[in-house]
Structure 1
């Protein structure tokens, strides 16, 4: 179990990708990670599209966006 301090969306996604890659390779056991965004960040899961997000929920806020994890997740989606 990992507890990380709040950080930027791109860094959180990079850490998630590194953990996913290590677990898939058998290098580490399945991992539960708790983290927060700072600043706020729109995080879209596999199959989600930015146009489907409720923009009014974060209108006027400074919100980051990181799509790298969406593309990388496709590599591990199939058995």
Structure 2
């Protein structure tokens, strides 16, 4: 059965699952423009990412630095508390 846009918008259960799938597909870390440059945003921390506990925040970076760090963080196994 194909799910069209009207079914997704009109069925609350389907819509909720659709949003959950979107969040999972987007991932935990994303690169976005900050005040003083680029940053890697951590969706779980709801703020700048940290490559290691107690380390510097991933902000005020060049676009290339942010992309590289985000890719590194996405490829690492998940560590509790980070």
TM-score normalized with structure 1 length = 0.22
TM-score normalized with structure 2 length = 0.21
- Which protein has greater RCO, CA pairs closer than 8 Å, 6+ apart? 1
Larger Rg belongs to: 2
Structure number with higher strand proportion: 2
